[in-house]
Amino acid sequence: MEIDEFVSKSIGEWSSMRSGHSLAFKQFEEIISNLRINLLSKNEPEIQDFLNITGYSKDQAISPFEIEWEGESNWEETKGSQRQLRGHSLLIPIKHSNNSGIILRSKGYAEAIQAISNYEISSDGTIFFSTTYQQTIAEERIWFINKNVRCRSSVIKSINMSGILQTSFASEIRKIKQ
Amino acid sequence: MEIDEFVSKSIGEWSSMRSGHSLAFKQFEEIISNLRINLLSKNEPEIQDFLNITGYSKDQAISPFEIEWEGESNWEETKGSQRQLRGHSLLIPIKHSNNSGIILRSKGYAEAIQAISNYEISSDGTIFFSTTYQQTIAEERIWFINKNVRCRSSVIKSINMSGILQTSFASEIRKIKQ
């Protein structure tokens, strides 16, 4: 599988169940959210602007896309309020080989800042991302169970490699079955 | 990585946080448990008996081991009681090639019956199991984040392939760090 096929399989609306595990405190977090993943044209002004900022050209970009998410976490349930989660990120893949490269992200996953992820797609179709942020390193894996269900796991480590802060796992179900 | 190395890395006592996702009902389950994984000798009577039952010889067995687990689920919390989980399984790997083969299990994961899992180890060190039970097919993946933390995901499908019943994810932390 190459990155354009991975993006193409991911386009659509997804209902997500996500569990976070804080290892040090043995705490669970449960998050229910909706994701919308849209393919974008290379000619969209926001894509052009983001390429300009990052120093890449339109010719290098492959299947740029955006992710919008909106959800609720039970993290604060004990305090009588739920944590609202909402966000939007542009993602632009740049290939280095058929099954590897980088993804420019306007907003990161572990930290809400611009980030560059390395990706690699294995022979069984799992995509691996590794992203170095200011304080943390995030390692993610995404794989499809079938065309309507995908799984996503992540591990967040502190930048000094001394500890694993959190793991998480999401089951994502396509809202309109294909 | 070959199966004997995977078994060797897994030996020890682990503290596990596991989340189950019931996709149809959007229900989360949280399980806290302890696992103990012990290497066994091929000469243990229970291993010899299990090889006899399944028709394999001692020469074919590689690194037989046992898993004991004890835990609690929050599944019944709303009814005022927690579900107690406790079990024990013998596992005997039989190689077909350097990175694939089968594992004889005295007790399965998705259903508590004797089972045979196919396994394959990918180049990044993830081990994949696929087990067909009477009603269900279970697909599991296990990978090490470092020598003291391993992750385990599973997908349980109904045997007629019409639906995914549950996904789950476990973060397992070695109790005595190496």
pLDDT value for A80: 54
CA distance B43 to chain A (A): 37
pLDDT category at A177 given cuts 50, 70, 90 is confident
pLDDT score for B160: 82
What pLDDT does residue B94 have? Answer: 97
Tell me phi and psi for residue B176, to 5 degrees.
-110, 105
Predicted model pTM: 0.92
Tell me the C-alpha distance between A103 and B15, whole Å.
Answer: 35
How does pLDDT run across B34-92, given as a tens digit for each residue? Answer: 999 999 999 999 999 999 999 999 999 999 999 999 998 887 654 555 666 888 999 99
Round to whole Å and give the CA distance between B14 and B69. Answer: 9
C-alpha–C-alpha distance, residues A155 and A38, integer Å: 25
Poorest-pLDDT segment among A17-26, A34-43, A66-75: A66-75
Domain ranges of chain A: 3-174
Give per-residue pLDDT as tens, B118-160: 999 999 999 999 999 989 999 999 999 999 999 999 999 998 8
DSSP string, chain B: --HHHHHHHH-EEEEEEEEEEETTTTEEEEEEEEEEEEE--TTSHHHHHHHHHHT--TTTB-S-EEEEEEEEESTTGGGT-PEEEEEEEEEEEEEEETTEEEEEESS-SSSSS-EEEEEEE-TTS-EEEEEE-SSEEEEEEEEEEETTEEEEEEEEEETTSS-EEEEEEEEEEESS--
Cβ B174 vs Cβ B11: under 8 Å: no
* One-character DSSP codes across A15-48: EEEEEEEETTTTEEEEEEEEEEEEE--TTSHHHH
Residue of A nearest to B33 (CA): A26
Q: What is the mean pLDDT of residues B5-18?
A: 98
Which CA distances in Å does B93 have to B69, B154, B155? Answer: 20, 19, 21
Q: Give the whole-angstrom CA distance, residue A127 versus residue B158.
A: 26
CA B149, CA B93: separation in Å to the nearest integer?
22
pLDDT in tens, A111-127: 777 899 999 999 999 99
In the predicted model, is pLDDT for residue A161 greater than 70? Answer: no
Q: pLDDT at position B77, please?
A: 59
Q: Which residues of chain B neighbour A100 with C-beta distances below 8 Å?
A: none
Q: Give whichever of A31-40, A71-80, A155-164 has the largest mean pLDDT.
A: A31-40
**The listed CATH number (2.40.128.20, 3.40.50.11540, 3.30.2080.10, 3.40.640.10) that belongs to domain B3-174:** 2.40.128.20
Residue of chain B nearest A151, judged by CA positions: B167
- Angle A30-B81-B84 from CA coordinates, rounded to 5°: 85
* pLDDT computed for residue B107 by the predictor: 81
Q: How many CB pairs under 8 A join A and B?
A: 69
Q: What ipTM describes this predicted complex?
A: 0.91
Residue window 82-121, chain A: list those with CB within 8 Å of chain B: none
